[in-house]
Amino acid sequence: MCFWAATVRAFGHIISQQGVIADSKKVEAMQTWPLPKTPKALHGLLGLTGYYRRFVRGYWKIAKPLIQLLSKDGFHWTEEARAAFEEFNKQFQIFPNPLLLRQMLLDKVWVLSYYKQGALSSWAQNKSTYERELMALVQAIRKWKHYLMRSHFIILTDQRSLKFLTDHRLLTKERFKWASKLISFDFEIRFRPGKDNPVADALSRKSYFMSISVLQPTQWDSWDEESQTDTGMASLIQDLMIDPNSHVGYELHKGRLFYKGKSVLPRGSSSIPTIFKDMHESPTGGQSGYFRTFKRIAGIIYWKGMKKDIKEWVQQCVVCQRNKAETLAPAGLLQTLPIPTQVWSDISMDFIGGMPKVQGKDTIFVVVDRLRKYAHFLALAHPFTTAEVAQLFIKEIVRLHGLVQKLKFNTAYHSQSDGQTEVVNLCLETYLCCMTGTHPRKWPQ
């Protein structure tokens, strides 16, 4: 009992001579609530607003459109639901803070009281998740100790490790300090995932949605016209309209033909050469071979005979024929090198010289990890000294990957003894020739 007090705060309310009103400190946490876009987020909204429903005239009438969204028919946002949400914003002005400590005292399924601690200090924010959850637990019990003393109670938490609070050793001074405050209480800690406790987590687990931009081909109309004029595709579409299961892998969606989720084009479509050019000859395509070019194109589009067509186009590419070297097996019996057991423990290095001088740089320093085949390409100015190369190596390689244990050398005039690095050099030179053939001074870019 509290005598001679004009007002008393209890169970999230303020009791005074004039009556009972919602505690401003509780309502203060609910401002600018985001539009719920999942059933979980809507459960949290209804759980919190429902606790103060006695202060909202016609609460159930306002909440009815939102409650209907939770039916088995599916979560479909309507204008009525939007109007109800806006009405709730007027009534409650909800804004949850993600850095608030939150706890709820439960008696069976009814909420007796809600307690929130003010915003965490910078010292508390730097603590681990376990320590912050432990602080929240201790502060909640101390807040309600007059209800919990000499009673056995159950604590529900979404922090799994807190379940073993009384079983394991406390390794830090701070943890021992907080846990020692609970010695006089008789409690049991149970783990409940946050997804199963949306009411308690609603303030600290708001749902955020990032907009996703989906690229839609601008040639849809021309592709539709080509599909209608192509005899084979037109008959295929007619068959699918009669029986959707008549052709395995094919389906119709909004009148357009798809094969395993990819748009289908006639083999003679005027868009196919443009697609091949974008996927093979562009800087992102990198004049790749048949397999990589096919995988890029097959991921977004399909036409009958595409494997054969792409293979012929790659073989007939003038830029590839002019710049790519033969990859026939070398003469003689070559032996494989031992395979490293750790990344960046065994490396190989080489220099590619004779590049057009740009800003004083005319040499490429190549460093390759023999296990993962990951490579670094560093620009150098010729002539260079051993000290300059060592300084660049420490700055760009050791800084990122640590000290290496072994460096692979090749034999003079026998580059096959370090074939991996030679292949990397060949790929780099081929790429630069294809991408900067007409503007050779752009190679550093």
User: Is 240 found in the same domain as 153?
Assistant: no
User: Is 113 found in the same domain as 71?
Assistant: no
For a pLDDT cut of 90, what percent of the chain falls above it?
A: 0
SS3 assignment for the chain: CCCCCCEEEECCEEEECCEEEECHHHHCCCCCCCCCCCHHHHHHHHHHHHHCHHHCCCHHHHHHHHHHCCCCCCCCCCHHHHHHHHHHHHHHCCCCCCCCCEEEEEECCEEEEEEECCCCCHHHHCCCHHHHHHHHHHHHHHHCHHHHCCCEEEEEECCHHHHHCCCCCCCCHHHHHHHHCCCCCEEEEEECCHHHCHHHHCCCCCCCCCCCCCCCCCCHHHHHHHHHHCHHHHHHHHHHHHCCCCCCCEEEECCEEEECCEEECCCCCCCHHHHHHHHHCCCCCCCCCHHHHHHHHHCCEECCCHHHHHHHHHHHCHHHHHHCCCCCCCCCCCCCCCCCCCCCCEEEEEEECCCCCECCECEEEEEEECCCCCEEEEEECCCCCHHHHHHHHHHHHHHHHCCCCEEECCECCEHHHHHHHHHHHHHHHHHHHHHHCCCHHHCCC
239-250 tens-digit pLDDT: 888 888 888 888
Q: 366 vs 93, which has greater pLDDT?
A: 366
58-100 tens-digit pLDDT: 777 778 888 877 776 667 777 888 888 777 767 665 433 333 3
In a domain, 120, yes or no: yes
User: Is 369 found in the same domain as 412?
Assistant: yes
In a domain, 14, yes or no: yes
Q: What does pTM read for this prediction?
A: 0.35
Mean pLDDT of the chain: 75
Which pLDDT band holds residue 233 (cuts at 50, 70, 90)?
confident
Domain limits for position 381:
346-442
Domain boundary among the residues 323, 354, 386 is at: 323
In a domain, 1, yes or no: no
User: Is 359 found in the same domain as 309?
Assistant: no
In a domain, 165, yes or no: yes
Write down the pLDDT at residue 419. Answer: 72
Q: Would you say residue 127 has pLDDT above 50?
A: yes
Domain boundary among the residues 65, 92, 119 is at: 92
Which pLDDT band holds residue 215 (cuts at 50, 70, 90)?
very low
268-277 tens-digit pLDDT: 788 888 888 8
User: Is 317 found in the same domain as 225?
Assistant: yes
In a domain, 211, yes or no: no
Which pLDDT band holds residue 206 (cuts at 50, 70, 90)?
low
Minimum mean pLDDT among 40-54, 213-227, 335-349: which range?
213-227
User: Is 275 found in the same domain as 190?
Assistant: no
Minimum mean pLDDT among 247-256, 263-272, 340-349, 403-412: which range?
403-412
User: Is 272 found in the same domain as 224?
Assistant: yes
Minimum mean pLDDT among 15-24, 348-357, 408-417: which range?
408-417
User: Is 174 found in the same domain as 155?
Assistant: yes
User: Is 193 found in the same domain as 224?
Assistant: no
Number of structural domains the chain divides into: 4
Write down the pLDDT at residue 381. Answer: 86
